[in-house]
Homo-oligomer: A and B are copies of this chain.
Amino acid sequence: MLSKKSQYAFKALTYLADRYEKGPVLIAEIAKKKKIPLKFLENILLELKKAEILDSKKGKGGGYFLRKDPAKVKMATVIRLVNGPIAMLPCVSLYFYERCKNCDEKHCGLHDMMIEVRDATLHILENRTLRDLQ
């Protein structure tokens, strides 16, 4: 399941996508409109900035804004960033891979099945963007 943090992130990103290229938006505005705890949202937006999805301006007239076209920001990227692995097992994760102990990946039915699930999921999430949330 997507964490609450992820759901907040998507709400905020949708809000910013609607205002793309219309200048910075205050954290406080997003928090109020989307009913997200202010300080929690600060952390999330900062993280998205560090990942180069958002950018910000300080001082009066400042705020957050999308760094690139909403149609260029993949869902898979955002989920990996705020929610973690997309795969159901570490041993089939592309970005968070960890080897299985006590199980040989070459002949493991579960492994193969989870690769199928991963690929089906990624086929969707790698081809959808913030644009599709609007």
Contact = CB atoms under 8 A, between A and B. Distances in A.
**Interface centre among A35, A117, A128, A132, by most B CB within 10 Å?**
A117
A59 interface: no
**How many copies of this kind of chain does the complex include?**
2
A85 interface: yes
A23 interface: no
Interface residues of A, number: 32
Contacts of A41: none
Interface string A1-38: 11000010011001000000000000000000011000
Contacts of A85: 1
A43 interface: no
